[in-house]
């Protein structure tokens, strides 16, 4: 919203309701009409798909860099994917009907949000590539960087369970990868919390798994962190 021209933001300001979102809150239900879109101010959402056996796998994440409810922008009223709060925070919530009207009235809003969708598509593509070709520690480094980008400070309130969903691996694999990064003094693990000690080394560990969507965001929208 900070990148939106003032006149266009004024058109939607009265339709934005501030809400507090707790960890694990579902804000977009799978296969159900989407009633609201959410512009995150703090916290991180996780967009997940479910396997036929009910296992959740994350396909993307969004924080203050974007919004939840992309299908509405693309002309759909629902999605098979669920969006929940991976890290609790706050958002500006807007009813889907008001959002659709705003898109018709504001080409600038539509253009800005479509640019975000372009970045998000790159993120999901990068996730697929990493899951298919990178070792777990490198994928973990990438996801920690992505969460670090969207949160203030160096503490990431992430549990092993959520990280397992993020990386599409079992919890023992998560524990091993975390230990590898901790031994290298890149992070410190605490109960239900991870502290980033050396971001530069974390970026080195992630290598080319991290950076492409982030660079595209800065090119199309503005500063990322």
**Strands 82-95, 193-196: parallel, antiparallel or unpaired by DSSP?**
unpaired
Residue 54, pLDDT above cutoff 90 = no
Task: Identify the band that residue 165 occupies on the pLDDT scale cut at 50, 70 and 90.
Answer: confident
How confident is the model over 106-158, as pLDDT tens digits? Answer: 999 999 999 999 999 999 999 988 877 778 889 999 999 999 999 999 999 98
**pLDDT value at residue 56:** 83
Beta carbons of 178 and 189 less than 8 angstroms apart: yes
Residue 190, pLDDT above cutoff 80 = yes
CA distance 117 to 221: 11
**pLDDT value at residue 181:** 95
Residue 151 is encoded by which pair of tokens? 């949160």
CA distance 102 to 147: 30
**pLDDT value at residue 189:** 92
Taking all residues of the chain, what is their mean pLDDT, rounded to a whole number? 92
**pLDDT value at residue 23:** 93
In the numeric block, the tokens 């253009």 are attached to 111
- The arrangement of strands across the sheet holding 193-196 comes to 155-156, 193-196, 187-190
């Amino acid at each position: 919203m900070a990148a939106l021209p003032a006149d266009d933001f004024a058109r939607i300001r009265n339709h934005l309701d501030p809400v507090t979102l707790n960890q694990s809150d579902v804000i977009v239900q799978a296969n159900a009409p989407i009633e609201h879109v959410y512009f995150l101010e703090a916290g991180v959402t996780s967009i997940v798909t479910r396997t036929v056996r009910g296992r959740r796998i994350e396909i993307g994440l969004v924080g203050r860099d974007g919004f939840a409810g992309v299908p509405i922008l693309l002309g759909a009223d629902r999605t098979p994917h669920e969006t929940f709060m991976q890290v609790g925070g706050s958002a500006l919530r807007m009813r889907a009907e008001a959002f659709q009207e705003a898109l018709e009235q504001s080409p600038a809003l539509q253009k800005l949000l479509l640019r975000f969708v372009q970045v998000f598509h790159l993120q999901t593509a990068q996730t697929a590539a990493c899951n298919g070709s990178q070792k777990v520690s490198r994928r973990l480094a990438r996801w920690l960087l992505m969460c670090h980008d969207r949160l203030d400070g160096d503490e990431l309130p992430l549990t092993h369970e959520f990280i397992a969903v993020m990386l599409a691996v079992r919890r023992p694999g998560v524990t091993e990868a975390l230990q590898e990064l901790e031994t290298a003094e890149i992070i410190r693990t605490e109960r239900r919390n991870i502290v980033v000690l050396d971001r530069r080394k974390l970026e080195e560990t992630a290598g080319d798994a991290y950076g492409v969507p982030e660079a595209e965001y800065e090119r199309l929208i503005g500063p990322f962190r």
